[in-house]
A and B are shown apart, each in its own frame.
Chain A
Amino acid sequence: MKFLLKQRGNPLLKHITSVPWEYDDIVPDYEVGKTICLLFLSLRYHNLNPDYIHNRLKELGKKYDLRVLLVQVDLKDPHASLKNLTRICLLTDITLMLAWNPEEAAKVVENYKIYENKPPDRIMEKIENDPHQKIINALSSIKPVNKTDAMTLIKTFGTLENIIKVSESRLAECPGFGITKAKKLYKALHEPFLKKGQTKDKKDEFPDEDLTLEELEKIVNENQDIS
């Protein structure tokens, strides 16, 4: 994990204990792997230097897959500033995370390092481990097919291979299946994996945002004038 030199002196650093880190010359404040980065902002500092974050964001642009703005809430009445920052994050495609003290902020940074490559299993629905059950779940994930239908299919055709090979009309003949259900099931099973126009290699494109950074500047300035 890499930290920006400028972050030296941030009390947050004292509390990072579970992951190794080093200073480096990077654009954001914290870089986790190649895909995640964080910018740190104290609300108190933001109130005194409202332009600061806007400049940092401009610098950062669209680099990294996940850009996080880690805000330390150290004001008694944070709502107005938070609202302002929320709006900026929404407009510039940044994820906002809150921390209430340096320890918590450190935890946030650590967590991103720990979880950077982990699969989302912890937050997904718990799945059965029984393979038979799994097939039933998989088949019933295709909308008009329910669990009973799935069991019928397995009983009639035996293996998944057979179910995939069978024709649409044969499917429609199964008890509980009509033309529409068979059609939907057949279509789903025979869809190519990749959508049309996609190549094997993952592209690194992001769709255009409908706001340029100049327009963002204007909006941010407007807010400063008003607040």
Chain B
Amino acid sequence: MNAKIQEDENVENTVSNLKNKFPMLSFEKQIFIDVFEKDALVIMAKGHNYNNIVANLLWVHKDPGNLVLVINSNDNEEKYFTEKNQLTPVPTLGNERERSYLEGGIHFVSTRILVVDLLKNRVPISHITGIVVLRAHTVLESCQEAFALRLYRQKNKTGFIKAFSNSPISFTFGYHQVEKVMRALFVTELFLWPRFHGNIIRNLKSRQAQAEELHIPLTTNMSYIQTCLLDIMNYTVKQLKSINRSLDMKEITTENCITKKFHKILQSQLDCVWHQLSTRTKEYIQDLKILRSMIINLIHDDAVSLYALVSKYRTPEYAQINSGWILLESAEQLFKYAKARVFNKKNEFDPEPSPKWKYLSDLLSQEIPDEVNKKKDSNLSNTKILILCQDNRTCSQLNHFLTMGANRYLLYTAFKREIPINAVATKYEDIKNTVPVETKDKTDKKSDTKEGKSTDEGTRLDDSKYEELNTEESRTNYLLTLTQSSAHCSKDNATVNESLFEPISQVMVVPSYQDGKTDEYFQLTNEEEVQPTDSRKAGQNQSKEKPLVIVDMREFRSDLPSLLHKRGINIEPVTIAIGDYILTPDICVERKSISDLIGSLNSGRLYTQCTQMCRNYSRPILLIEFDQNKPFNLQGHFVVSTDISGADIQQKLQLLTIHFPRLKLVWSPSPYATAELFYELKQGRNNPNIAEAIALSGENTADDMNYERYNILVHDFVQKLPGVTSKNINRIMNKGISLDHLITLTKEELSDVVENKNEAETLYSILHVKARPMDAKEEKFGKKKFTGKLYRSKK
């Protein structure tokens, strides 16, 4: 089954055979040839993509005699390749997946699922022809891909590994990123294809279009607004950094706040410490988000939309939850200028049109027709113009502008955004009182309004992505692209590309065992461990089986499972209700980072988890794992923001230990140390039983547990009744006998049991009197509490 197609055949033949399938430019063919023969990492420049190359690669291997897995693709890529190569999606059930792996062919799998399948032996590892890794620059963000490839390479030394990336800039963060990625991918070859590569320049030169760049300046008001917004952002960023000095906030600068990557930067920096941040910090972050949306709106949207957006934040409700920028002088200016763009001095509605509109309409109605008419052989009605925009919103905006005209469109927007208008400027006298009708059609209209000019030619408003254009067979004569260039970045594109590739192409030494095809690599990392036989331990249970740890499925997002595996411990991924790691039949571990610890202590979740652990295992452990990137002596402070103290958390943690004396605390400096500790804890002890672990849920206590005096179902029920507190519950449980008995007691008798008159009264009434639902709760005014995360992580 492991037939590697065309192993000895001339690769050129392969390429020429492919001519009819997915056509490639000659530089793409070169990349294909390079990558076909070796395990490699291919890094391409941003504007290019590897779609054609990968499509052909997959097509060559598409055969039931092969098994090729593609991991780490995003949804779009998966859809694209699945359609192009006519693949079937992978089934959701594990057993069915096992069958489809055996059927061979090409499969797109999510890395997390592949890791579980590999661990559970659902994949015939030795029969895998190869694995293709897309978006290779994301490989180091999580260790999933590295883990999957390790599991693959350990048992399969002949299959291939090929990785692709078209984001060279991602490799410039941090140190030795390329080396690290290559090591994680087990590849020994690196192919770099920047935009200035000889082949690429040769290929594209012939089709190089004549490009003209028009720089459209901001209006005066717009520049003022931009200055104000940058000022406010500066202030906010400074405040944010001042209360979070120990956090690495290098990447959070005012410049970065404007870029698209900002939320990604925030997420990567702050997500893992979210609960260690003060409320004030979270307010600053929220406000940065708001300010960012304003700046983007300023450049992309029209004056009326910006005014509507800005006015939204000029309310007393927002002022209460605002982090402070509202009080700045710049904020006042901001409101002033935003309004000035829409209302003139007489307070009449007199909006200024977007500067780029004029240019666009000039181009469409004068310049291009002039040019076309100059050429003898072209006809105006045959000319196609393609306008590329960044997103749907811009497309719809331009659509409206071109069909309605600037003034009418702005008036329409004002109505849509419910901006109160008392009077309109004189230029509106001509516009009739009807609501403008949206025309989604791109048919030509010959209307001769004073301001708005519609076009005669057929304009196609397309929001296709930049990359797709290279491969599309569209024949357009003119291509208009609208992009944003912020006032601060005026870098020349060419030099940016060159400098990106420079750090990568220095000398790099790659050890020969890096491809993992010999066992040398695995031996270096202490894979196989011989159990030391120790006569002193003869009395204890010494299991001869390889050590096994049960790992909850949800833990696979972290590093620890792969580190455990490296340590020589087998991992069984299971969905368990209680605990994260089961080391032995007695030991259950709940793992928390500091941020998680704080979050779950505050929400009450940790208490519930500990209750369940202590009910079902004789050795429950709470593992608190520090951030290995922070110096250990700073770990003493639970919180990161300096405007709050960790005293509260310390108290809660101690309270937890008082109520769960059997719970053991383990403080681990890093996942590596944790893996070591787990290994030691398992020494001389039995492996856990998988069936038992799965069977344990919150409802039942393990039969042999003696730790609970009370039947937990009825105990938990009574605990929640009004009148029952954590102080009197034990008394009630001890003397109450059962619910049946409790309802026969009189108020006085109940008082005796509870030993508190008021509580007994409440309990009595709840048992015997009909309860009525309360009216809807009143609205609470006040500060909004930030409990959840700012950005939901996609994993």
Contacts and interface: CB of A to CB of B under 8 A. Distances in A.
Interface size class of chain B, counting residues whose CB lies under 8 Å from the partner chain: 35 or more
Contacts of A120: 607, 655-656, 658-659, 726
A95 B665 contact: yes
A164 B652 contact: no
B717 A100 contact: no
B655 A118 contact: yes
Interface stretch (A20-28, A134-142, A174-182): A134-142
Given A124-B607, A188-B714, A188-B717, A132 B658 contact: no
B300 to A, nearest CB: 43
B578 interface: no
A81 to B, nearest CB: 12
Q: Which of A95, A96, A101 has the most CB of B within 10 A?
A: A95
Given A132-B771, A137-B720, A159-B767, A122 B652 contact: yes
A96 B667 contact: yes
Given A119-B725, A132-B774, A189-B714, A100 B633 contact: yes
Contacts of A111: 650-651, 654
A198 to B, nearest CB: 5
Interface in A108-147: 108, 111-112, 114-116, 118-127, 130-135, 137-139, 141-143
B304 interface: no
Given A87-B680, A123-B606, A189-B714, A195 B667 contact: no
Interface stretch (B13-21, B78-86, B511-519, B669-677): B669-677
B169 interface: no
Contact of B607 (A95, A123, A135, A164): A123
A141 B717 contact: yes
Contacts of A131: 722, 762, 766, 771
A25 B650 CA distance: 29
A204 interface: no
B735 interface: yes
Nearest to B633: A100
Interface in A44-66: 65-66
Interface string A68-79: 100001000011
Interface string B719-747: 11110011100001111111110010000
Interface in A171-227: 187-195, 198, 200-202, 207, 218
A125 B608 contact: yes
A126 B725 contact: no
Contacts of A118: 655, 658
Interface stretch (B65-73, B198-206, B233-241, B702-710): B702-710
A198 B725 CA distance: 22
Nearest to B637: A100
Contacts of A188: 713-714, 717
Given A78-B632, A131-B722, A97 B665 contact: yes
A186 to B, nearest CB: 11
A120 B603 CA distance: 13
Contacts of B603: 125
Interface string B616-632: 00110100000000001
A176 to B, nearest CB: 18
A135 B654 contact: no
A171 to B, nearest CB: 14
B647 A194 contact: no
A104 B698 CA distance: 36
B733 A193 contact: yes
Nearest to A87: B680
Contacts of A66: 657-658, 661
A37 B656 CA distance: 15
B625 to A, nearest CB: 13
A123 B727 CA distance: 15
A167 interface: no
B770 to A, nearest CB: 5
A58 B97 CA distance: 55
B664 interface: yes
A198 B606 CA distance: 28
B738 A193 contact: yes
Contact of A138 (B618, B717, B743): B717
A66 B666 CA distance: 16
Given A93-B664, A100-B633, A116-B658, 15 more contacts: A66-B657, A87-B680, A89-B664, A124-B607, A124-B608, A135-B771, A159-B767, A160-B743, A160-B766, A161-B768, A165-B743, A187-B713, A192-B737, A192-B738, A193-B732
Nearest 4 interchain pairs by C-beta: A125-B604, A119-B726, A100-B636, A138-B720
Interface of A: 36, 65-66, 68, 73, 78-79, 82-83, 86-87, 89-90, 93-101, 104, 107-108, 111-112, 114-116, 118-127, 130-135, 137-139, 141-143, 154, 158-161, 164-165, 187-195, 198, 200-202, 207, 218
29 contacts: A68-B657, A79-B669, A83-B673, A87-B680, A95-B657, A99-B636, A108-B650, A111-B650, A112-B654, A120-B656, A120-B726, A123-B604, A123-B606, A131-B766, A132-B771, A134-B720, A134-B722, A135-B771, A138-B719, A159-B769, A190-B740, A192-B738, A193-B732, A193-B734, A194-B734, A195-B708, A195-B711, A202-B734, A218-B536
